[in-house]
């Protein structure tokens, strides 16, 4: 069974999950088909996922059949297990917790698209609603402290299936990087009495050089100390510490902003692999005055070396000012058919995809 183990020096939690070794991920070459030889996320193939947890469907359509627009299902190879017990224990200098949690997949549409930019803004909004619904439902389980939403697109970003999907991981501890951010933001708040993210947003909007998009409620920018070329952040202008505090008006706007930001990235970098992660505080009845939720979107262009892994030094050959200018200057136009789309057609023609 999975367990959390804490690095005793830096305090970082790692999930040891030997079960995960069974997932269909060849170590060097990810496959884009499920073990059945077809895409388990396409409409018509619902029987190849575990029974659904939630879906947005047309009237009259029953669960686990066709007719849905967004669908949430359990991850077939979960990093954490809902039936695990917390069981906090020490072992000499070490600490561990049982690998309790929930790991769901949110399928972003019935057709075999691989990007949010292929969808209408309305459909992207529905995906955001599903994120929020699933978080609000799962936070009723008091064992969970944090809900993380992330997305891997493309093999280089760690995706094992091509069909557009996000993942939701509920866990009994706060993920290490979010914890680091919350602690850092608290130190600034203690000293200055303000949210550091609110200060950053104000400074970026005044400076303009790193701004990619500026809508009425959100700002998209390339962070000052970007670790990766073309790294982007999307932050709400209204202070809120958690994603699930989004209002309807904000979701309406975020659907368009997120879609366009991803579209710009895809056009600027010729359809890169990327990771996107929602940084959101741990569940708390109160809003934290010092932490500000945001999206982080990181294209995965080059392999990571020892300098980055081993020492935490990121060497970024593209200044965020350069990246932001390039992303701003992109001419928005529909995608040219990519290799992946051609692959998809072949698979469909050969009857692999129903």
Please check whether residue 89 is in contact with residue 3, taking contact to mean a CB–CB distance below 8 angstroms: no
| Dihedral of alpha carbons 32, 34, 40, 41, sign | negative
How many CB atoms sit inside 10 A of residue 148's CB? 21
Q: Give the one residue of 1, 25, 145, 352 binding its own copies; rule: CB under 8 A.
A: 25
| Dihedral of alpha carbons 255, 134, 107, 175, sign | positive
Residues numbered 97-126 forming contacts with its own copies, rule: CB under 8 A: none
Q: Does 275 bind its own copies (CB under 8 A)?
A: yes
Q: Which is nearer to its own copies, 120 or 183 (CB)?
A: 183
Q: Does 190 bind its own copies (CB under 8 A)?
A: no
Q: Which residue has the tokens 């930001």?
A: 261
Q: Does 276 bind its own copies (CB under 8 A)?
A: yes
Please check whether residue 264 is in contact with residue 230, taking contact to mean a CB–CB distance below 8 angstroms: no
Q: Which is nearer to its own copies, 277 or 353 (CB)?
A: 277
For residue 351, give the DSSP letter: T
Q: Does 43 bind its own copies (CB under 8 A)?
A: no
| Dihedral of alpha carbons 167, 247, 222, 192, sign | negative
Beta pairing partners, 234: 220, 295
The distance of closest approach from Cβ of residue 5 to its own copies in the complex, given in angstroms and rounded to an integer, is 4
Q: Tell me the H-state helices in 165-284.
A: 176-192, 196-207, 248-268
The distance of closest approach from Cβ of residue 202 to its own copies in the complex, given in angstroms and rounded to an integer, is 9
Q: Does 44 bind its own copies (CB under 8 A)?
A: no
Q: Which is nearer to its own copies, 10 or 332 (CB)?
A: 10
**Contact pattern for its own copies over residues 293 through 322, marking x by CB under 8 A:** ---x-x-xxxxxxxxxxxxxxxxxxxxx-x
Beta pairing partners, 103: 169
Q: Does 241 bind its own copies (CB under 8 A)?
A: no
**Contact pattern for its own copies over residues 59 through 98, marking x by CB under 8 A:** --------------------x------------xxx----
Q: Tell me if residue 247 falls in helix, strand or coil.
A: coil
Q: Which is nearer to its own copies, 43 or 204 (CB)?
A: 204
Q: Does 336 bind its own copies (CB under 8 A)?
A: no
Active site residue 165: yes
Could you tell me the CA-to-CA distances from 107 to 35, 48, 258, 335 in Å, in that order?
17, 13, 17, 21
Q: Which is nearer to its own copies, 143 or 348 (CB)?
A: 143
How many CB atoms sit inside 10 A of residue 84's CB? 19
Query: Which window, 107-115, 133-141, 148-156, 341-349, contacts its own copies (CB under 8 A)?
Result: 148-156
Q: Which is nearer to its own copies, 259 or 294 (CB)?
A: 294
**Which one, of 292, 101, 304, lies nearest residue 188 by Cα?**
292
Q: Does 24 bind its own copies (CB under 8 A)?
A: no
Q: Give the one residue of 115, 171, 241, 347 binding its own copies; rule: CB under 8 A.
A: 171
Residues numbered 198-237 forming contacts with its own copies, rule: CB under 8 A: 199-200, 203, 207, 223-227
> Out of 165, 239, 290, 292, which one is annotated catalytic?
165
Q: Does 155 bind its own copies (CB under 8 A)?
A: yes
| Dihedral of alpha carbons 99, 35, 118, 152, sign | positive
Q: Does 150 bind its own copies (CB under 8 A)?
A: yes
- R_g of the chain, CA atoms, integer Å: 20
The distance of closest approach from Cβ of residue 216 to its own copies in the complex, given in angstroms and rounded to an integer, is 23
Catalytic amino acids?
165
């Amino acid at each position: 069974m999975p367990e959390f183990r804490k690095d005793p020096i830096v305090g970082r939690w790692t999930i040891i999950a030997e079960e995960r070794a069974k997932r269909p991920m060849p170590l060097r070459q990810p496959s884009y088909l499920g073990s059945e030889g077809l895409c388990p996320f396409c409409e018509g193939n619902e029987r190849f996922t575990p029974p659904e947890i939630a879906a947005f469907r047309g009237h009259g359509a029953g669960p686990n059949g066709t007719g849905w627009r967004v669908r949430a299902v359990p991850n077939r190879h979960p990093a954490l297990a809902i039936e695990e017990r917390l069981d906090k224990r020490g072992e000499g200098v070490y600490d561990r917790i049982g690998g309790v949690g929930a790991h769901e997949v949110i399928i972003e549409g019935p057709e075999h698209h691989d990007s949010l930019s292929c969808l209408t803004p309305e459909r992207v909004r529905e995906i955001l609603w599903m994120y929020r619904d699933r978080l609000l439902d799962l936070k009723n389980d008091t064992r969970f402290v944090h809900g993380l939403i992330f997305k891997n697109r493309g093999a280089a970003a760690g995706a094992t299936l091509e069909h557009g999907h996000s993942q939701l991981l509920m866990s009994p501890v706060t993920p290490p990087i979010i914890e680091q951010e919350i602690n850092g933001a608290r130190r600034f708040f203690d000293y200055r009495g303000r949210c550091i993210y609110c200060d950053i947003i104000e400074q970026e909007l005044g400076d303009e050089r790193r701004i990619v998009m500026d809508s009425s409620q959100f700002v998209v920018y390339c962070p000052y100390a970007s670790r990766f070329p073309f790294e982007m952040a999307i932050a709400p202008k209204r202070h809120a510490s958690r994603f699930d505090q989004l209002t309807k008006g904000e979701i309406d706007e975020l659907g368009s902003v997120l879609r366009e930001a991803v579209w710009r990235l895809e056009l600027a970098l010729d359809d890169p692999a990327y990771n996107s992660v929602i940084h959101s505080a741990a569940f708390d009845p109160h809003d934290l005055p010092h932490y500000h939720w945001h999206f982080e979107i990181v294209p995965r262009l080059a392999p990571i070396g020892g300098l980055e892994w081993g020492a935490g030094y990121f060497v970024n050959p593209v200044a965020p000012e350069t990246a932001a200018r390039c992303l701003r200057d992109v001419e928005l136009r529909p995608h040219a058919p990519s290799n992946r789309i051609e692959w998809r057609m072949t698979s469909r023609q050969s009857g692999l995809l129903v």
